[in-house]
Structure 1
Amino acid sequence: MTDQTPATPAPLEASELGTKEYWDALYTRESTNHAADPTDEGTIWFDDSSAEDKLVTLLRSSSLTGFNPATASFLDLGTGNGHLLFRLRDEGVRREDSDEEEKEEEEEEEEEGEGEGGKKLFGGRMMGTDYSATSISFARAVAAERGLVDGAVEFVEWDVLASPSDAVLSGPNTDGWDVVLDKGTFDAVSLMGDPEAGKRYVERVREVVRKGGWAVVTSL
């Protein structure tokens, strides 16, 4: 009988994309560009493959069991400029598929103090994390420019491989987050040249996603 155990894939070769120095330099440059032109919010990763559109479609669907898009909390690993969370907040104003009659009914209910959040998407807590302090300051600047203040979207300097979990397991999320998002961070971890880094990543993600929650990873 042949051994059916799958072979362990060889680790990827180390790349500058797996170094903190690369990302610090990138977000320093993008912060400078944003200061000169506030409409320049930096790179939208995987934009050429419409990754954010596909992710929003997934989160709006009923594919994720036990997931309520109106109240779910989101933790974004490797948030960069924070654009993914900003996109979700923007999407959360109304369901795009609500017809005009439903919208009018909802507005009437809200005026009467009823149905709060009933038709809204992505109204829960959102936190973006990154091990680059420059990324976090940049994301906060973009959030302020967009008028997202008073904790509408939080940003915390946090290294998924090394920082204490309690730095992000706070407030209503001490038991974990409903959805942990990753758009490229696992790729960067895989390019560190450390064969154990991927295992540590998986262990750390398990620590911060709640029981029954979801980790949604976008990877090349």
Structure 2
Amino acid sequence: MGETGPAHLEPSELGTKEYWDGTYAEDLSRTPPEPDSPLCGWFSDVSASSKILKYLSSPSLGLDKQSTSILDLGTGNGEMLFLLRQEGGFEGPMTGVDYSSQSVELCQTLAANKGLAEEALKFRLWDIMGFDAPESLAVYDVVLDKGTFDAVSLNQATDRLGKRICEGYCERIELLIKEGGILLVTSCNWTESELKRWFEHENLEPVDRIEYPVFSFGGQTGQSVCSVCFRKKSKA
């Protein structure tokens, strides 16, 4: 994103790997392991996960539940993929990636406890903004981001050109979306218009949004959470 992009967020510990490693390590220490991530609080008040599930299941979107491939970026405790598989009836290949090894271990443990086979639901260690993607990653019909761009935006790290790493985020993940596939970004730090400025470019176009409860404060109205759907354009 160039100089016309939204102003950067102030750095926070919520943007550091150390913070999330500690969070998921604490989840793993419970018997049995039980997720209690701050991300749950960020989005649970507006039932974001259930709204995302309803949106992805809508006939208007036309996703084939038996074959649609789904990638969950920054999967955390795997909640979104578990919901899609167990309650949404999505049976296609699903992969969740996270840069925290504790997150991956937690997800794998929870998946085993739920009786979900590794072949159907995979969790992999990957730093989206770091090294190249694992060879097992390909391109997907649906790529989900629920709070991951928020966390990346709170990271003060910069790239070799001195730019905040969030500026290169869209470029990295666009490569993981099939032509005609969708990217659904859910945020509690960015508005709908700001997300469009971050993600809309020559290969990605905004096509829809998810409605959330509207609040009013100081004469202004808005949503505490927003989800914007982008479609990757076909080259043909």
Which TM bucket (shorter chain)?
Answer: 0.7 to 0.9
Whether contact under 8 Å (1:24, 1:132) holds in the other structure is yes
For residues 138 and 8 of structure 1, the distance between their equivalents in structure 2, rounded to whole angstroms, comes to: 35
The residue aligned with 1:182 is 145
Match status 1:37 vs 2:32 = yes
- Contact in 1 for aligned 2:69/2:92 (Cα 8 Å): yes
- The residue type equivalent to 1:191 in the other structure is L
1:131 aligns with 2:92: no
Alignment correspondent of 1:58: 55
The letter for the 1-side match of 2:45 is: D
Aligned 8 A contact 1:165 1:208 in 2: no
Alpha-carbon deviations, 1:153-211, whole Å to 9, x = none? 10000011123135343xxxx3x100001111000011012453222110111111111
Runs of 4 or more above 4 Å deviation: none
Q: What secondary structure, in the 3-state scheme, does the structure 1 residue paired with 2:185 have?
A: strand
Higher strand share: 2
SS of 1:167's partner is coil
Greater share of residues in helix: 1
Instruction: Determine which structure has greater relative contact order: mean sequence separation of CA pairs < 8 Å that are 6+ residues apart, divided by chain length.
Output: 1
Q: 1:64 to 1:71 in 2, by over 3 A?
A: same
The alignment's TM-score, normalised by the length of structure 1, stands at 0.75
Q: How far has the Cα of 1:151 moved from its partner?
A: 1.9
| Long gaps (5+) in structure 1 | 1-5, 93-120
Q: 1:23 to 1:156 in 2, by over 3 A?
A: same
Q: 1:7 deviation in Å?
A: 4.6
Segments of structure 2 that go 5 or more residues without pairing to the other structure are 189-236
TM-score by length of 2: 0.70
Computed over aligned residues only, the root mean square deviation of the Cα atoms, in angstroms, reads: 1.8
Counterpart AA for 1:219 = S
How many residues align? The count is: 178
Query: Counterpart of 1:118?
Result: none
Q: Which is greater in Rg?
A: 1
Give the match for residue 28 of structure 1. 25
